[in-house]
Amino acid sequence: MIKRFTPYVLAVVCLAIVSLAIPGEANAQLRNQTRYTRSTVNGIINRLENSSDRFRRDFDRAMDNSSLNGTNAEDRYNGYVRDFENQLDQLRRSFDRTDSWWTVRNEVEAVIRDANPVNNMMNSLPFRRTLESQWNRMRSDINSLADTYDLPGLNGGGWNGGGGGWGGGGSGQTSTPPSWAQGTFYSSYPAVTMTINRNGQVTSVINGQTFYGRYYRGSIYAGNEVATVTRMGNGIRTYNQTTGQTIDFNRNWGGGGGGGGGNWEGPTSNPPSWAVGTFSSMDGSVRMTINRNGQVTSVVNGQTFYGRYYYGSIYSADSTATVSQRGNGIRTYNRTTGQTIDFRRR
> How many CA atoms lie within 13 Å of 333's alpha carbon, on the beta-carbon side?
7
CA 226 to chain centre: 23
pLDDT score at 35:
58
For 324, phi and psi rounded to 5 degrees?
-135, 155
Question: Helix or strand or coil: residue 12?
Answer: helix
pLDDT score at 161:
34
Decide: residue 343, CB within 10 A, 0-12 exposed, 13-18 middle, 19+ buried: buried
Closest CA to 264 of 333, 210, 185: 185
Closest CA to 343 of 333, 331, 334: 331
Domains of the chain with bracketed CATH: 1-31 (no CATH), 36-148 (1.20.1440), 179-249 (2.40.128), 273-345 (2.40.128.50)
Please list, in sequence order, all residues whose beta carbon lies within 8 angstroms of the beta carbon of residue 65, skipping any fewer than 6 positions away. none
Q: Give the separation between CA 172 and CA 249, rounded to whole angstroms.
A: 24
List strands edge to edge, sheet with 209-216. Answer: 183-187, 192-196, 201-206, 209-216, 219-222, 225-232, 235-240, 246-249
Q: What is the CA radius of gyration of the chain?
A: 25
pLDDT in tens, the chain (346 residues): 444 434 433 333 333 333 333 344 455 454 455 456 888 889 899 999 989 889 999 999 988 888 888 888 888 888 999 999 999 999 999 999 988 888 888 899 889 888 888 888 887 777 777 888 888 888 888 888 887 887 777 765 433 333 333 333 445 678 889 999 998 887 755 567 888 988 888 888 765 566 778 888 888 987 667 889 999 887 898 988 877 777 888 876 544 333 333 344 567 788 999 999 999 988 888 889 998 888 888 887 667 777 888 888 888 765 678 899 999 999 998 776 678 889 999 8
CA dihedral angle for residue 115, residue 117, residue 120, residue 123, rounded to 10 degrees: -60
pLDDT score at 133:
84
pLDDT score at 290:
92
| Global pTM exceeds 0.75 | no
Bridge partners, residue 285, by sequence: none
